Structure 1
Amino acid sequence: MRVVSISVNGLKQAIENGFFEWLKNQDADVVCVQDHRMRAWEFDDPRYTPEGYEAYFIDGEENEQGSVGIYTRHFPKAIIYGFANEQADREGRFLQADFDKVSVACVLAPCALGQEDEPLGDTDETRLDHKDAFMQAFGLHMQKTLRKRRQFIFGANLQTAHHVTDTSPRYHKLDVSGFLPHERAWLDRLFEEMGCIDAFREINKEGNQFTWWPEWAEGWRKHAGWRTDYQLTTPGIRRRIEDAWIDDSTRFSDHAPVIVDYDIEIGF
């Protein structure tokens, strides 16, 4: 089974920039799409579903909140919209497809980079507070998930890099969301205490492996990035991870796709 995870920064623009042409050559079974910025009803239009795939998408109350979706070549047994967290579910940040032997979920964390102290709406909550609240809620969901016997894969843009090897050195001393000590400590707990697997790092230990670059880094991507996009798995999948890579040659988004091959039969 091949799973692709990609944060597209607006699906319509990504399609115009060649996303579907790229996808034709990937032989992907499941594609997790974050930050599509569309209304769910728009996916009734066949222009927004690549040939051979079924589309399942959830939107937020506002398009700029992002929202997530799943393209799959296999009919799922069930689709789960949200993870029972009111704020995250209103913003369309979680979608899960259950197949016979595995569940695949798509996740998008809020972004607070460069807007850490900006008030959110008419409340005293800042954008960093909002992101932290989501991460706490998602962490509790992951604790429950990791105790289940069923196996899970999460294609996730967590808007956070984990180790210094996951960001360009130029970012290491910046006091910005995405690489703050408490955000990285959350990932420590996820991987080291809860036992969640970072599928890409399970296979690929090389440096300069990034999935997101600021706009001004165009043209020299490999030297100015962050690895904020993940495929997270339950421990039972660790030995079934066959290959993992980042396609940083793509240009349909300022994120690059994370592609992982698993020794799992997805069909019935």
Structure 2
Amino acid sequence: MPSLKITSINVNGIRAAVKQRNENNPGMLPWLARQAPDVVLLQEIRADEKTARKALAPALDDGWHLAMTASSQAGRAGVGILSRTEPSDVRIGYGDDEFDTLGRYIEADFGDGEQQVTAASVYVPSGAALTDEKKDVEKYEEKLRFMTSFGPYLDTLLQSGRHAVVAGDWNIAPDERDIKNWKGNLKNSGFLPHEREWVAARLAGGWVDVAREHHGDVAGPYAWWSWRGKAFDNDAGWRIDYHLATPALAQRVEKTWVDRADAYDLRWSDHAPVTVVFSR
């Protein structure tokens, strides 16, 4: 059977992602047609479904299927799944009263029988370093609540025996190899000790960080760079976008890569697509 190609990308607003930025950068849709993944896990759609479908109309007219959930907070979050074949089932949220309406998690089943794979898109809150500022405290506590409730769900999904891959913008760099300037970020959200410990607990439980297993003990490869300064040009990035796969599925990885733009002005998001190819 053919392989299964799953890409994850934080689009940083679907309307902005599909827009032509300059004569050399036509946006997301030509990339989608050129790379032709089987499944695209989207984060930070930042639009309701009607608006997202309008933005993605050329792809949908070409046969792509879209399942998504917008955030009840307009203009924020939102996750979705674009796929070449229609999923057999779609589930929104993971059973949390707070986060299931905020566009943070969606999963869908593809294939059937022993070949069925559950592919999920997750957008973990960005959080903040814990300070005396009220806004920082609220964002810090929101991320902590999400991790506290989502961790057990991931544990349950792992123990279910299903072939599953959960990918997206985790907003947590697992270790020092995953940030160019890790020494300067020891007290920043995304690299706080309890955040890294949370990821480590998922890996210790059996989830496999596909890119790290594939690339080995190297820096990155990064998939997010700030729009500001020379972060992209200097590859001063973060690896906060990755696929966690169940062990049996992880054994079927053929290759994985970051589709980094060739130049700063060719980017259509501050994140780059991360792709994994699984054998069937």
Q: How many corresponding residue pairs? A: 260
Shift of 1:185: 0.6
CA contact (8 A) 1:116 1:127 kept: no
CA contact (8 A) 1:119 1:125 kept: yes
Shift of 1:169: 2.5
- 1:181 paired residue number: 193
Distance 1:219 1:186, change over 3 A: closer
For residues 192 and 133 of structure 2, the distance between their equivalents in structure 1, rounded to whole angstroms, comes to 16
- 2:32 paired residue number: 23
Shift of 1:218: 4.5
Distance 1:117 1:159, change over 3 A: farther
Distance 1:75 1:189, change over 3 A: same
- 2:78 paired residue number: 67
- 1:10 paired residue number: 13
For residues 157 and 51 of structure 2, the distance between their equivalents in structure 1, rounded to whole angstroms, comes to 31
Shift of 1:118: 4.8
Task: Report the more deviating stretch, 28-37 or 54-63.
Answer: 54-63
- 1:95 paired residue number: 106
For residues 63 and 237 of structure 1, the distance between their equivalents in structure 2, rounded to whole angstroms, comes to 36
Task: Report the more deviating stretch, 50-59 or 30-39.
Answer: 50-59
Task: Report the more deviating stretch, 196-205 or 159-168.
Answer: 196-205
CA contact (8 A) 1:168 1:224 kept: yes
Shift of 1:241: 0.6
Shift of 1:69: 0.5
Shift of 1:222: 4.9
- Pair 1:54 & 2:89 matched: no
Task: Report percent identity of matched pairs.
Answer: 32
Q: Secondary structure at the match of 2:100?
A: helix
Cα displacement string for residues 135-183 of structure 1 (whole angstroms, at most 9, x for unaligned residues): 1111010010010121101122111101101001255444110000110
CA contact (8 A) 1:3 1:31 kept: yes
Q: Secondary structure at the match of 1:126?
A: helix
For residues 223 and 154 of structure 1, the distance between their equivalents in structure 2, rounded to whole angstroms, comes to 26
Out of 123, 128, 142, the position equivalent to 1:108 is: 123
For residues 162 and 94 of structure 2, the distance between their equivalents in structure 1, rounded to whole angstroms, comes to 16
- Pair 1:37 & 2:46 matched: yes
CA contact (8 A) 2:94 2:100 kept: yes
CA contact (8 A) 1:6 1:33 kept: yes
For residues 203 and 150 of structure 2, the distance between their equivalents in structure 1, rounded to whole angstroms, comes to 14
Q: Secondary structure at the match of 1:128?
A: helix
- 1:199 paired residue number: 210
Task: Quote the RMSD (CA, aligned, Å).
Answer: 2.1
Out of 236, 251, 254, the position equivalent to 2:267 is: 251
Name the aligned partner's letter for residue 15 of structure 1.
V
Could you state the TM-score of these two structures normalised by the residue count of structure 2?
A: 0.86
Shift of 1:82: 0.8
For residues 49 and 159 of structure 1, the distance between their equivalents in structure 2, rounded to whole angstroms, comes to 30
Name the aligned partner's letter for residue 89 of structure 2.
A
Could you state the TM-score of these two structures normalised by the residue count of structure 1?
A: 0.90
- 1:148 paired residue number: 160
CA contact (8 A) 2:18 2:56 kept: no
Distance 1:20 1:110, change over 3 A: same
Task: Report the more deviating stretch, 63-72 or 124-133.
Answer: 124-133
Q: Which runs of 5+ in 2 are unaligned?
A: 21-26
- Pair 1:78 & 2:94 matched: no
